């Protein structure tokens, strides 16, 4: 279960830990599987049109079983955002289990004319990356205009799949930031949001042993997209 101490929430399991800075959605979630290096995933940035929004206020937060829910409010423009962090256990092809995280992001505005854009970014140490199209076939990296909903980063110690529900993608950027680091950024919403309407975006991440077969990542993606939304969403 998540444990909240001050402005930080931790999850400690048998083989991995996670940390969320409640007041800083732009820092995303930090996870450390087993003895492997810390990874910072799903950094959330929000824009209204071309203008970035900074300094959201935490309205409230609570823990419910495997879920950490944080409600934010932006003063200008009037925008509310909820981050719903869920610790997930996905089935592996060999009958075992795989640790992961699901993020359900919700937006709502009180303005009559709002066009929010959400960018969720993951940057990790990685040697290579595999990209999968919406049919879950591997594709060339130079064809990301087709909006691939999953990319899998590989290094010597582990692999990491980053997933977005296919209906939530409006833009993708995947590339190297240095010789040993890769970055994946997904844009979502990017359209007019009616006053009072709630817009939701689903993302996920799963940690695998190094050298996984593509079929294992595809199986987890299918579990991700087919799972029902949390009851409190």
Q: Which of the residue ranges 100-104, 149-153, 192-196, 197-201 would you say has the lowest mean pLDDT?
A: 192-196
By CB atoms closer than 10 A (0-12, 13-18, 19+), residue 54 is exposed
Q: Which positions ≥6 away from 95 have C-beta within 8 Å?
A: none
User: What is the pLDDT, as a whole number, of residue 141?
Assistant: 81
Domains and CATH numbers, the chain: 3-226 (2.70.98.10)
For the stretch 48-79, pLDDT in tens is 877 888 889 999 999 998 899 999 999 876 88
Task: Give the pLDDT score at 232.
Answer: 55
Residues written for the chain: 233
Q: What is the pLDDT of residue 182?
A: 93
- Give the pLDDT band of residue 192 (cuts 50, 70, 90): confident
Q: Is the distance from CB of 162 to CB of 122 less than 8 angstroms? A: yes
The pLDDT score that the predictor gives to residue 39 is: 84
Average pLDDT of the chain is: 89
**How high is the pLDDT of residue 20?**
97
Q: How far apart are CA 9 and CA 4, in angstroms?
A: 4
Percent of the chain's residues with pLDDT above 70: 94
Among positive and negative, which fits the CA dihedral 81, 28, 65, 207?
A: positive
With a cut of 90, say whether residue 221 has pLDDT above it.
yes
pLDDT of 151: 96
The mean per-residue pLDDT over the stretch 178-196 comes to 90
Phi/psi of residue 166, each to 5°? -55, -30
Assess contact for 29 and 20: CB atoms under 8 A: yes
Distances (CA, A) of 185 to 4, 78, 122: 28, 25, 6
């Amino acid at each position: 279960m998540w444990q909240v101490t001050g402005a930080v929430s931790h999850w400690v399991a048998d083989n991995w830990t996670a940390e969320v800075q409640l007041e800083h959605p732009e820092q995303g979630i930090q996870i450390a599987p087993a003895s492997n290096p810390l990874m910072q995933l799903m950094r959330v940035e929000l824009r209204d049109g071309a203008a970035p929004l900074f300094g959201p206020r935490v309205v409230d937060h609570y823990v419910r079983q495997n879920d950490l829910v944080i409600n934010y409010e932006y003063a200008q423009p009037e925008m509310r955002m909820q981050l719903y962090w869920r610790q997930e256990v996905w089935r592996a092809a060999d009958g075992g289990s795989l640790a992961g995280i699901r993020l359900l992001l919700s937006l709502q505005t009180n303005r009559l004319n709002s066009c929010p854009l959400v960018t969720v970014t993951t940057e990790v140490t990685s040697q290579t990356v595999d990209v999968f199209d919406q049919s879950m076939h591997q594709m060339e990296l130079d064809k990301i205009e087709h909006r691939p909903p999953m990319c899998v980063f590989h290094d010597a110690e582990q692999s990491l799949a980053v997933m977005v529900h296919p209906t939530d993608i409006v833009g993708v950027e995947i590339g190297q930031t240095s010789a040993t680091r890769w970055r994946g950024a997904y844009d979502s919403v990017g359209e007019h949001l009616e006053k009072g309407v709630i817009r939701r975006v689903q993302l996920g991440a799963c940690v695998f042993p190094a050298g996984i077969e593509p079929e294992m990542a595809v199986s987890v993606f299918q579990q991700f997209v087919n799972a029902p939304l949390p009851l409190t969403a």
